[in-house]
Amino acid sequence: MKYFSFYYLALWLASGSLMASCGRTDAPAADSTTAAAAGPPASYFEPTETGVQDGGVRIIPINTPKGKFNVWTKRFGNNPKIKVLLLNGGPGSTHEYFECMENFLPKEGIEFIYYDQLGCGLSDNPKDTAMWSLPRYVEEVEQVRQALNLTKDNFYLLGHSWGGILAAEYAFKYQQNLKGLIISNMMMSCPAYGRYADEVLAKQMKPDVLAEIRAIEARQDFANPRYMELLMPNFYAEHVLRLPLDEWPEPVNRAFSKSNQSLYVTMQGPSEFGISGKLTNWDRTADLPKLTVPVLSIGGKYDTMDPEHMRMIATKVQKGNSLICPKGSHMSLYDDQQTYFTGLTKFLKAVDDGTLKPGAEL
């Protein structure tokens, strides 16, 4: 099951196979409609912290069954009514691939908060597989919420890929603390995703390519460089990020190259077309009607996740909207940015001002 194949993609990037040719970091231009917006109020840029200013960074102590650890967060902007906490994918990547948010959300006055989950990026890494647990991560998010004083009057949770699982699981337990929930590029059933990967995505590959991939997996020879040589052009560039490999954005490559392989393999497992980790049987589809908070389900037409399943999520929750990016894949926030951020902004502002119409596709 691939939220991303971080384990081997990280090795690929670390080897310099892709990074050496990826120097393009120029930000995409905003569309004319967004650019014409009035922009955020001056208060958006005012610091909320007293004393020495450090760019909104906050280190938060987290209590766990194995003791206390620190996680890293960084606030961008100031909006008392809309605060979006970002949950990265992987599991095991970093907040860094969310940096494209800076080109879209500030001009709309939307505050967002980077956050490296325990074991990720700039946060502590206990290097203990017992800590890689979905219930424990839910409690971690709740402690972060409390520390940042996020409330039902302003707290939006956006989880991408694995972060979408974490965001949904948090909402099932703590939705009373939420103002809105965004599940980005994630299905609500790991078994269903496994079937989609095997029965739909795999069959879209050239037969000889798929046969060679299957042979490598059968030998469990996942560290074989040929594995990623086949997957990068035939899977990643088709379903993870639909840009030429030498044009993948620098924040994406940087985040992927820092993946925590222990966390990823423990939760997901090593294979590209199957799941064998702790998330193997995770399925919350039947529980979706329990969600009463406004929910936006985002997906991409070419996603690693089934677009129809992601549409379905919005119909099962009580106040759901869907956004399927017609040019997008798993990283729709990069390969269909105008659709992604226009829809996300519309959802956030509509929830805030009470004009959201559940059931519509944004």
- So which residues are the catalytic ones? 161, 303, 330
Here the contacts of 210-218 (C-beta below 8 Å, separation 24 or greater) are 213/272, 213/273, 217/271, 217/272, 217/273, 217/274
**Contact indicator for 167, 145 with CB cutoff of 8 Å:** no
CB neighbour list of residue 355: distance below 8 Å, 6 or more residues apart = none
CB neighbour list of residue 286: distance below 8 Å, 6 or more residues apart = none
Question: From CA 151, how far away is CA 13, in angstroms rounded?
Answer: 39
How many residues are listed for the chain in this entry? 362
**Contact indicator for 240, 248 with CB cutoff of 8 Å:** no
